[in-house]
Amino acid sequence: MKYTKDWRLLKDLPEDIMIEIGFDRSTFVRKAIDEVKETLIIAIGLVVIIIYLFFREWSIAFRPLIDIPVSLIGAFFIMYIAGFSINVLTLLSLVLATGLVVDDGIVVTENIFKKMEQGMDRFKAAREGSNEIYFAVIATSITLAIVFLPIIFLQGFVGRLFREFGIVVAGAVLISAFVSLTLTPVLNIYLTRKGGIRHSWFYNKSEPFFRGMENGYRNILSGFMKARWVALLIVLTCVALIYLVGKNLPSELAPIEDRNRLRATIIAPEGTDFDYMDKVVYDITEKIMDSVPERFIVLSFAPGFRGSGGVNSAMISMGLTDSRDRVRTQDQIAQQMNGMFRNYYDVRVLIVQEQTISVGSGGRGSLPVQFVIQNLNFDKLKEKVPLFMEEVTKSPVFQGYDVNLKFNKPELQITIDRLKASELGVSILDITNTLQMALSGRRFGYFIRNGKQYQVIGQVDRKDRDAPLDLKAFYIRNRNGQLFQLDNVVTVAEAANPPTIYHFNRLKSATVQAGLAPGRTLGEGIKEMERIKDKVLDETFSTSLSGSSRDFAESSSNTMFAFVLAIILIYLVLSAQFESFVDPFIIMITVPLALAGAVVSLSIFGQSLNIFSQIGIIMLIGLVTKNGILIVEFANQIREHTGKDKFAAAQDAAVARLRPILMTTLATSLGALPIAVALGSAGTARVPLGIVIVGGMLFALVLTLFVVPALYSFISRKKLIVHEEEPVVHKSDS
């Protein structure tokens, strides 16, 4: 990001003073929005290609694409009505919607196109094709929209983060369903020549491949149906994969993004003075300047600046050159700096990478793992906290650590001998005033010299107040005007106590912060803290999480609740639409198939289970049920109109819906592909979301085409009754 140097401030500065932007958080926001725009363009291009490859007619391929601008404009209108802003998550929802909103248009257009190929008049083909498919379109759209209902009403961190995301995606999908059943049939009428469908040379050359694909699928499916019990084995295997692979996935709040920025927090022992800390900060700054060639700017803040807790702590903020202009990643630079300062003298240097998502109480400069130890008895905290920190130091999970409750702040406890002071005629007030004026740096007033105002501060020279023995050099006058050394009436004892006593949930507390060793995740860090708690603390202690750790725990519980509720809601909605409790069960079998693909994909690509991958898993519930709905709904139609048995109807429906299933699945997958592979300059933190959708959809696609027909032939055995006189079908109460 380039900034203009036409600043008015430059006009008033001397020529030898330079001014630059030290840190600008809006740079990342602008970059993130540009990333989403790039991803959106790539996604639209990929969706256009996949639709054309199946229809092989540009005039027909662009008809479902009308859904994209109409649905996205409608989504912007929903954002306007709801008062949402254009941000990273709402734009991310539009990227995902790009692949979703064309699904309904593809299904409708493909059905109309098929009837036109059979010689049907374009008006009749549009009417009958839409009527034949409208139930499936409505069912799939409502199913996908209902997935986001639990997310919309979630409270806390996840609710605040993904409420806008869910509403925008759900709104775009519902608008696309309306467009596909109204605008798409009309476009198919007016954009088709009066003479009917005329195939291009590319269509004629490639159609044998698609015919062969359908025939090959029919033959393979026929063979599979002879051993239908394998479908049950496949489902059980997928459930086992979800458990075995899923439990070994690392978990975290969100992957760390390369934001071209690192922060060094410097902590010295309590009692360290300003001058020493200032020298340490200068030395560390020089070492960073010499050792990190990727640094763009290094800002060191004075000890105690910005409420850091005292002069024994300081901070250095380092801006890196853009990630595209350097070989090493932000994390690699952070690991180098951690090794560089691991054995630094007398101070502890913690290198902190900014969390991708941080809305909790941790703050941007805090370490990711924050574990709160609580007890009513402060003496027990004083006893156990050092033991706890000793275990944290030994753990291979952590790299860099700190605790806010420290017991090493040196202090002088001055006790006045009141009896002796009374005998010498020295008042208590005179003793306290003497100590205050000698040591406290009290401001007495102001004076002006050469047009500038200065403070008048009362304090003895530093050389006369550096050591406890210097108190003996202070004199005090009694009521008779006689001078006495201060140590005649006071005793001095050195001690160490905490500078601040902290409370959490009204209990005395200590918050342990820790960084993570390379390859470790936030979930592992929290588990390790729990292990140390069980080893060191007794039952009188209570513990809690704070900052990013609390956000992580809250997001995990909330998304699990949303996942379970989404499954229940989809099942109930499908039961109402199909007027059956059996058909929805067959359709919902696709969920474990997709989840198995999602967790296996995350494992293969080395991704974690985080807030983005969890939201992707919830989306999968609505996405994969589309394929099951298309097969089951059309199988029901075949049985109602032809009287075929469930076995033949399931095979015919699967073969007839093969092309739309392939097109919609590939369109959705390619719409999410730029997110999965971070095409363009897409954000790496959102990669798990794309991997979950692409991997889950493609894995479920292959299995759904065989498992759903097989289970349909098993479970729907007694659903339809066909009379011999006429093929009138009655639905049973099941």
- Residue 441 is encoded by which pair of tokens? 């740096």
pLDDT in tens, 320-377: 888 878 888 888 898 888 888 877 777 888 888 877 776 544 444 578 899 999 999 8
Q: In Å, how far from its chain's centre is CA 392?
A: 27
pTM of the predicted protein model: 0.80
Please identify which residue in the block is written with the tokens 């051993």: 227
Q: Which two tokens stand for residue 86?
A: 């254009």
Q: What is the amino acid identity at position 727?
A: P
156-165, 231-240, 331-340: least confidently modelled range: 156-165
First to last CA, the chain: 63
Backbone angles phi, psi at 446, to 5 degrees: -135, 160
The residues facing 385 across adjacent strands are: none
Classified by CATH at the fold level, domain 409-497 comes out as 3.30.2090
Residues 181-191 as b/e (b if ≥16 CB within 10 A, e otherwise) read: bebbbebbeee
How far apart (Å, rounded) are the C-alpha atoms in residues 554 and 445?
Answer: 53
Give the Cβ contact number of residue 660 at 10 Å: 24
Q: What single string gives the DSSP state of each residue in 630-647?
A: HHHHHHHHHHHHH---HH
pLDDT at residue 359, as a whole number: 55
Rounded to the nearest 10 degrees, how much is the dihedral formed by the CA atoms of 278, 279, 285, 290? 170
CB 133 within 8 A of CB 107: yes
Sign of the dihedral through C-alpha 627, 629, 634, 635 = positive
In whole angstroms, give the CA distance from residue 327 to residue 6.
Answer: 33
**Averaged confidence pLDDT in the chain:** 83
Residue that is written with structure tokens 């602008």 in the block: 30
User: How is 319-366 classified by DSSP, letter by letter?
Assistant: EEPPGGG-SS-HHHHHHHHHHHSTT-SSSEEEEEEPPSS--SSS-TTS
pLDDT for 723 equals 45
| CATH 2.60.120.10 is held by the domain 21-253+552-731 | no
Domain boundaries, the chain: 21-253+552-731, 409-497
Give the model confidence (pLDDT) of 572-619 as tens digits.
999 988 888 888 999 999 999 999 999 999 999 989 888 888 888 988
How confident is the model over 169-181, as a mean pLDDT?
89
In this structure, what are the phi and psi dihedrals at residue 89, rounded to the nearest 5 degrees?
-75, -40
